[in-house]
Amino acid sequence: MNDIVNMIMSELGASRGLAIAYIAVGVMIVIMSVVCLVLEIRVWLKYSKANRMGISSKMTGIEAARYVLDAAGLNHITVRKAGFIREAVFGNYYNIYTKTIYLRSWLGKIDEKRSVTSVALGVQKAALAKLCEEGDKTTVARNRLSLLGIFGPVLFIPVLLLGLVIDYLVLKNVGIMTYVCMALSGILLISGFIVTFLNIPVEKKANQIALDMIEKYGLANGEEMEAMREVYDAYILSYIAEFILEVLRVVQWVIEIAIKLQQKKD
């Protein structure tokens, strides 16, 4: 361990304290990444299991979403199947700009399937649309920032590396591009952090509204609703793990800034 700390101190020009903090956070990020992967697999297992269960209302995901939207007076909101690219990037989601709910049509197909998962997620997305139309500030903010939530964490490392590559290859030293790209990567990272943080209360609220509507309109029986709760809870647990991972990434970014400032001071 001491050899690793010394190597980090030498490579990054960091103090011992910063080197230890950098290693510790890096290890925790790796651990939480594995935890997130495990929980994503759990979500998919719950999703798939409920998607194999028939639904007593005999509704598809699109029909269930359409039904509760019309009942809430939201006839202007469209419900349709997602295209290949859109589904690969967003999955099942509500687009606040086009006022359209998109449901999976190929991977984890629920758009035209008469299953517990289809009704659960169709109505849940309708609940999100309802919250947005009612002006729920947290839901509106989360949905408007959804793109940053998806691409921010993914682009964080590439943007950071871009600055280093430009400086070393063109300027032959750590210079302005490193700091510019570090600032930009920080904006992306923090944006992703905010969206991940908002996911938890927004999704929990939408889940409860969806369950209330499903019960109110008799779209599922007791056993089916229990399976729906399991799917919803699996998603929430996954969002909590993702939030912890984003916190660690922000901490890592702050440590990297501290190291750069120390290098500049030296």
Whether the predicted pLDDT of 169 surpasses 70: no
Lowest mean pLDDT among 14-23, 59-68, 81-90, 192-201: 14-23
End-to-end CA distance of the chain: 25
Whether the predicted pLDDT of 49 surpasses 90: yes
DSSP state of 54: B
Share of the chain above pLDDT 70, in %: 80
**Please, is 188 exposed, middle or buried when counting C-beta atoms within 10 Å of its C-beta (0-12, 13-18, 19+)?**
buried
State the pLDDT confidence band at 63, using cuts at 50, 70 and 90: very high
Answer whether 112's CB lies under 8 Å from 144's CB: no
Q: Which residue has the higher pLDDT, 16 or 243?
A: 243
How far CA 86 is from CA of 156, 230, 231, 234, in Å, comes to 22, 26, 22, 23
From its phi and psi, is residue 81 left (phi > 0), alpha (psi between -120 and 50) or beta?
beta
Distance of CA 261 to the CA centre of its chain: 31
Whether the predicted pLDDT of 107 surpasses 90: no
Q: Tell me the mean pLDDT in the region 76-85.
A: 91
Domain containing 165: what range? 2-265
Say which residue the tokens 């949905």 belong to.
143
Answer whether 78's CB lies under 8 Å from 102's CB: no
Lowest mean pLDDT among 6-20, 43-57, 212-226: 6-20
State the pLDDT confidence band at 236, using cuts at 50, 70 and 90: very high
State the pLDDT confidence band at 126, using cuts at 50, 70 and 90: very high
CA–CA separation, 260 vs 4, rounded Å?
19
Question: What is residue 111's predicted lDDT score, i.e. its pLDDT?
Answer: 80
pLDDT in tens, 198-231: 989 999 999 999 999 999 999 999 999 999 999 9
Average pLDDT along the chain: 85
Q: Where are the alpha helices (DSSP H) in the chain?
A: 2-12, 16-51, 61-71, 84-90, 116-133, 137-144, 146-166, 176-216, 222-265
Number of domains in the chain: 1
Six-digit token string for 163? 């600055």
